[in-house]
Chain A
Amino acid sequence: MIKKILMAINEYLAINDRWITIHPHGKDSDDYRRLKIEGDETPKEAIDRVYKKEEKKEQKKDGNSFVEKHKKLEQEYQELMGKREAIREDFTKRLNKYMEEHPKYKYARAEKEFRKEFAKEVEEKEKENEDLYSKIIDKDHEIDMLHREEGDRLNQLKIDELNKNELEQFLNDFEKVNRGRLSYDVSQNLFKKQHKAKERLDGLGYQEKRKSLIEVNGVKKKKPMTHEEADNGHVNPNYEKGIDDKGYSTNCQSCVVCYELRRRGFDLQTRARQSFGKMQILAEKPEMAYIDPNTGKTPEVNRMYVGNKNDAYGWLDNNIKDGRYVFRVKWKNYHSGHIISAERINGNLTLYDPQNNKLYDTKDKILERLDLVSFRGYSKDTKPFILRVDNLDIKQDFADAITVKE
Chain B
Amino acid sequence: MICTILKIAILGLTDALGIWAIVGLGVAGNWFLLATLIIGMGLLNLALLSRRAYPLRYLIPGLIFFGAMVVYPILYNVSIAFTNYSTGHFLSKEQAIAHFQRQYYLPENTESFSYQAFRSAQGDLILILSSRTTGALYLAMEGHLTLLDPKDPRLLYENNQIKAFEGVPPLSTRELVQNLNRLEKLALPYDEGVVRLASLREFKVYKPRYQYDPDKDTLTDLLSGKVYVPKEGSFTSEDGESLDPGFRVYVGLTNFVRIFSNRQITGPFFRVFRWTFLWAFLSVATTFCLGLALAILLNNPYLRFRYLYRTLLIIPYAVPGFISLLVWRGLLNTNFGVVNQILNSLFHIRIPWLQEAFWAKMALVLVNLWLGYPYMMIVCLGALQSIPSELFEAAYVDGANRWQQFKKITLPLLLISIAPLLVGSFAFNFNNFNVIYLLTEGGPPIPGTQTSAGATDILISYVYKLAFASGRGQEYGFAAAVSIIIFLIVGTISALNFRFTKSLERMSEGL
Do A and B pair up? The answer is no
Query: Residues of B with Cβ closer than 8 Å to A?
Result: none
